[in-house]
Amino acid sequence: MRDFANAAFAPETIAVMERAMESAVSSLPEPVHSTHVQTIAESILRAAKEGERDPATLGRLALMELAITPRG
């Protein structure tokens, strides 16, 4: 994952990010591709690094980013 080498999160924030990740990934249609999971994870990390702590918002932002990310 790029840009997260020095990121550090409190255990409570990690738990929130885990909930957001599980919710976002579970909402994807099968088959779920690893690139989709990585995009979601990076989005959640980025938003959490900026201070977002609501798991629903983190997941929603990640899914929106996934929807607009160009596929190549």
Does 72 or 67 have the greater pLDDT score? 67
Instruction: Assess whether pLDDT exceeds 80 at residue 59.
Output: yes
The whole-number pLDDT of residue 2 equals: 63
Q: Which residues of 22-59 are buried (b: 16+ CB within 10 A; e: fewer)?
A: ebbbeeeeeeeeeebeebbbbbbbbbbeeebeebeebb
In the chain, the percentage of residues whose pLDDT exceeds 90 is 79
| Percent of the chain at pLDDT exceeding 70 | 90
